[in-house]
Amino acid sequence: MKYAFVLGRVHTLSIAELLAVLEQADAVLGLTGEPVKILEASEEILVIETAKPLNAQALQKKLGGVIKILEVIDVIKKRESESVNFALKHYFKPSVLKKQFFKDYKGKVQFGLSVYILDMSLLQRPQPSNNMRDGARNNFGNIFSEPKRIGMMIKKSLTDTGASVRLVLPEFNSLSLASVVVTKNLLLQKGAEISILAAKDHILTAKTLTVQDFEDYGRRDYQRPVRDEKQGMIPPKVAQIMLNLSGCKSGDTILDPFCGIGTIIQEGLLLCFRMIGSDINKTAIKGSEQNLEWFRNRYKIAPGKYGLEVSDATKVSGLIEKGKQKISAIVTECTLGPMYGSFPKADEITKNFADLEKLYKKSFEEFSKFLPKKGRVVMCLPAYRKNRNAYEMLPSLDFAEELGYNLVDIISPDLAKKFKFLRLTNRHTAIYDRKDQIVAREIAIFEKN
């Protein structure tokens, strides 16, 4: 079986999370625990091959960094000089469409068409060469015209058989349909989303199995009783990614010692972990209690799956010993320091880093008292955004190594070498940021020796 995963905006984190989950043994998800066979990847999509079918619906709910899961149907050879639609001109016959894409649906067909790029050089508009065949030359053009060309080709193939068809295409200068468009148009219920994965010398045809539930993520973020815009809040998707990077299994207990208003706690509960949250701020704990009570009722979480306490992170071992909990990992957005509307002065950054390093060092000393060997600390560190690809980060993470922790590569060196498009820091961590943020998040994984 071949599957393709449409990646989120921060594709490096999406791939890191995806591989961490796929390499676990989980019968419900259809995972054997064997290493994943990666066929190809780009900034947009990752294609794998599995020995057994995956439970795409369950897997989609688990992954914060994956927008869609597709089933790969066929591989079509293509000349580098050919346009995508020209290479597919004989493929979408009515028999293929009915068998591979619309076999589970009868009546008026409603389908969408998306194109994903496996080789980013295709986004550059080339000029047709003199030695191209006439048909290829006539169809050779801007890649952004491909969804309409291919979509109309499929629509004609269907209408020629007498079928009633509605086609949904990406917006102008876009190649793919957003998950909201797929959902709002009921494409997976009333037909299909057909996806084309284009490389220089081949094309993959695929059918969308699932899309990310954008409404539910919005509900988990914006409909909670308590929000704290001033301090900044980790998005539920990022919390989910971090939890999946912890290496924990269903039923394990995870601690968030800087829990704030409880985002990581709630996402951990959805992933079937037991969660403990603490924070030195009493107001934050009160807000977390309100949010988690709302969350527990809204998502029918059984009682006793989480606990909240007011506690200094540098003294949290007393809380753990008192409750006699066995902590498998720590997942947290630590204090990131002051928030800024413009890039701070160099001396401010230096002072912030010095203060934070003291806090982090004391916290890691405390974590060593109860974290098991090979237990992970997945945390956010501050990264001041200079421009699109440059950040001012903590100068060193040696304090963790001195305390008996290893910094884990968020993506394996072999994979990082193979896929040059991955955006990693010089210490193989990853950055999550948004356009309007000065203080971004550096996602780091530490493992106790």
Encode pLDDT of 427-442 as tens digits: 999 999 988 889 999 9
Instruction: Name which residue leads in pLDDT, 403 or 143.
Output: 403
pLDDT of residue 107: 76
Statement to judge: residues 116 and 90 lie in one domain: yes
**How do beta strands 45-49 and 2-7 pair?**
antiparallel
Cα–Cα distance measured from residue 1 to residue 410, given in angstroms and rounded to the nearest whole number: 26
**Which phi and psi angles does 205 have, rounded to 5°?**
-100, 140
Statement to judge: residues 323 and 369 lie in one domain: yes
pLDDT digit string, tens, across residues 17-68: 999 999 998 989 999 888 889 999 999 999 999 989 999 999 999 999 999 9
Q: Is 183 helix (H, G, I), strand (E, B) or coil?
A: helix
pLDDT of residue 33: 87
| Boundary (domain end) residue, out of 166, 185, 212 | 212
Statement to judge: residues 357 and 421 lie in one domain: yes
Cα–Cα distance measured from residue 354 to residue 51, given in angstroms and rounded to the nearest whole number: 50
Looking at the 3D structure of the chain, how many domains does it have?
Answer: 2
Position 129 pLDDT exceeds 80: no
The band of 126, judged by pLDDT with boundaries at 50, 70 and 90, is low
- The answer for residues whose C-beta is within 8 angstroms of residue 117's C-beta and 6 or more apart is 42, 44, 45, 123, 143, 175, 197, 198
Name the least confident of 237-246, 320-329, 396-405: 320-329
Statement to judge: residues 199 and 272 lie in one domain: no
Name the least confident of 327-331, 340-344, 345-349, 355-359: 340-344
Sole residue written with tokens 């928030």: 339
The band of 120, judged by pLDDT with boundaries at 50, 70 and 90, is confident
Statement to judge: residues 98 and 167 lie in one domain: yes
pLDDT digit string, tens, across residues 177-232: 999 999 999 999 989 999 999 999 999 999 999 999 999 999 999 999 998 766 66
Statement to judge: residues 200 and 229 lie in one domain: no
pLDDT of residue 132: 46
Averaged pLDDT for residues 287-294: 96
Cα–Cα distance measured from residue 135 to residue 86, given in angstroms and rounded to the nearest whole number: 8
Q: What is the 3-state secondary structure (H, E, C) of 10-43?
A: CHHHHHHHHHHHHCCEECCCCEECCCCEEEEECC
**Which phi and psi angles does 166 have, rounded to 5°?**
-125, 130
DSSP, res 295: H
pLDDT of residue 124: 74
Greatest Cα-to-Cα distance within the chain, rounded to the nearest angstrom: 78
| Boundary (domain end) residue, out of 212, 228, 251 | 212
Averaged pLDDT for residues 380-408: 94
pLDDT of residue 232: 62
DSSP, res 201: S
Q: Is 320 helix (H, G, I), strand (E, B) or coil?
A: helix
CATH number at residue 203: 3.30.2130.30
Cα–Cα distance measured from residue 380 to residue 365, given in angstroms and rounded to the nearest whole number: 17
pLDDT > 90: percent of the chain: 82
The two tokens of residue 167 are 């086609």
CATH number at residue 266: 3.40.50.150
Instruction: Name which residue leads in pLDDT, 62 or 108.
Output: 62
Statement to judge: residues 179 and 322 lie in one domain: no
- The answer for residues whose C-beta is within 8 angstroms of residue 388's C-beta and 6 or more apart is none
> Is the CB of residue 111 less than 8 Å from the CB of residue 249?
no
Position 131 pLDDT exceeds 80: no
Name the least confident of 126-135, 212-221, 355-364, 413-422: 126-135
Would the pTM of this model clear 0.75, i.e. be above it? yes
Q: Which helix (H) or strand (E) holds 386?
A: strand 376-387
Mean pLDDT of the chain: 92
Q: Pick from 66, 108, 116: which is nearest to 192 by CA?
A: 108
The DSSP line for 326-345 is: ---EEEEE-------SSPPP
Averaged pLDDT for residues 332-356: 94
Can you give the residue range of the structural domain that contains 6? 2-212
Statement to judge: residues 207 and 274 lie in one domain: no
Cα–Cα distance measured from residue 249 to residue 270, given in angstroms and rounded to the nearest whole number: 13
The two tokens of residue 88 are 């597919």
